[in-house]
Structure 1
Amino acid sequence: MSSQNPFEQSEYNQTNPFEDSNQIQADVPLTEHSGKSEIGQDYTSYTQYGDSQSSIYQTTPSSIPAEDPKLAAKAAELRRREEELAAREREMQAAQVEAERVRTQGKNNFPKFYPLIYMSIPAEIPKAHQSTVKFIYNLWLALLATLGLNFLACMLMLFAGIPNGAADMGVSLGYCFTITAASFLLWYRPVYNAFMKEMSMYYYFYFIFNGFHILFAFYMALGFPSTGSAGLINMIQVFNGHHIFAGILCVFSTILWFVQGGGCLFFYRKVHMHYNQQGHTFDQAKAQVTSSAVRNQAVQNAAWSAATGNRV
Structure 2
Amino acid sequence: MSAFDDNPFAESAGVNPFNDPAVTQVTNSTVESVDQYNPFPATNLASQTTPASSSPYQPAVLQPSSEPTPQATATAAQANLLRQQEELERKAAELDRREQELQGRSSTGKENNWPPLPKSFPIKPCFYQDFSEEIPTEYQRVCKMMYYLWMFNCVTLFLNMLACLAYFTTSSTYGVDFGLSILWLILFAPCSFLCWYRPVYKAFKTDSSFSFFFFFFVFFCQVVIFIIQAVGIPRWGNSGWIAAFSVIKLSKAVCAIMFIVAILFTICAVMSIILLKMVHGMYRRTGASFHKAQQEFSQGIFTNKTFQSAAAGAASSAAQGAFQANN
TM, length-normalised to structure 1: 0.62
Opposite residue 134 of structure 2, the aligned amino acid is E
- In structure 2, relative to structure 1, the CA distance for the partners of 1:212 and 1:112 (3 Å cut) is same
Please identify the structure whose Cα radius of gyration is greater. 2
Instruction: Report the counterpart of residue 185 of structure 1 in structure 2.
Output: 194
**How much has 1:279 moved relative to structure 2?**
1.4
Instruction: Report the counterpart of residue 122 of structure 1 in structure 2.
Output: 132
TM, length-normalised to structure 2: 0.59
* Alignment partner of 1:174 is 2:183: yes
Percent sequence identity is 28
Partner SS, residue 233 of structure 1: helix
| Cα distance in structure 1, aligned partners of 2:151 and 2:189 | 9
**How much has 1:225 moved relative to structure 2?**
0.9
Partner SS, residue 279 of structure 1: coil
Instruction: Report the counterpart of residue 159 of structure 1 in structure 2.
Output: 169
- In structure 2, relative to structure 1, the CA distance for the partners of 1:185 and 1:101 (3 Å cut) is closer
Instruction: Report the counterpart of residue 145 of structure 1 in structure 2.
Output: 155
Partner SS, residue 248 of structure 2: helix
| Cα distance in structure 1, aligned partners of 2:208 and 2:226 | 27
Q: For residues 219-278 of structure 1, what are the alpha-carbon distances to aligned partners after superposition, in whole Å with 9 as ceiling and x for unaligned?
A: 01111111110111110111121x122111111110111111110110100111111111
Opposite residue 124 of structure 1, the aligned amino acid is E
Would the aligned equivalents of 2:105 and 2:112 in 1 still touch at CA under 8 Å? no
Partner SS, residue 247 of structure 2: helix
Instruction: Report the counterpart of residue 219 of structure 1 in structure 2.
Output: 228
Instruction: Report the counterpart of residue 116 of structure 2 in structure 1.
Output: 112
Opposite residue 275 of structure 1, the aligned amino acid is Y
* Alignment partner of 1:247 is 2:251: no
Instruction: Report the counterpart of residue 303 of structure 2 in structure 1.
Output: 295
Q: For residues 8-34 of structure 1, what are the alpha-carbon distances to aligned partners after superposition, in whole Å with 9 as ceiling and x for unaligned?
A: xxxxxxxxxxxxxxxxxxxxxxxxxxx
1:237 to 246, 251, 257: 246
| Cα distance in structure 2, aligned partners of 1:174 and 1:294 | 37
Q: Which moved more, 1:110-119 or 1:277-286?
A: 110-119
Partner SS, residue 303 of structure 2: helix
Would the aligned equivalents of 1:154 and 1:230 in 2 still touch at CA under 8 Å? yes
Opposite residue 126 of structure 1, the aligned amino acid is P
Would the aligned equivalents of 1:194 and 1:203 in 2 still touch at CA under 8 Å? yes
Would the aligned equivalents of 2:177 and 2:234 in 1 still touch at CA under 8 Å? yes
Partner SS, residue 104 of structure 1: coil
| Cα distance in structure 2, aligned partners of 1:296 and 1:162 | 52
Q: For residues 170-199 of structure 1, what are the alpha-carbon distances to aligned partners after superposition, in whole Å with 9 as ceiling and x for unaligned?
A: 111011111011101110000000000001
Instruction: Report the counterpart of residue 60 of structure 2 in structure 1.
Output: none
1:278 to 282, 286, 298: 286
The runs of 5 or more residues in structure 2 that have no matched partner are: 1-101, 118-122, 314-327
The runs of 5 or more residues in structure 1 that have no matched partner are: 1-98, 306-312
Instruction: Report the counterpart of residue 9 of structure 1 in structure 2.
Output: none
**How much has 1:301 moved relative to structure 2?**
2.0
| Cα distance in structure 1, aligned partners of 2:127 and 2:105 | 15
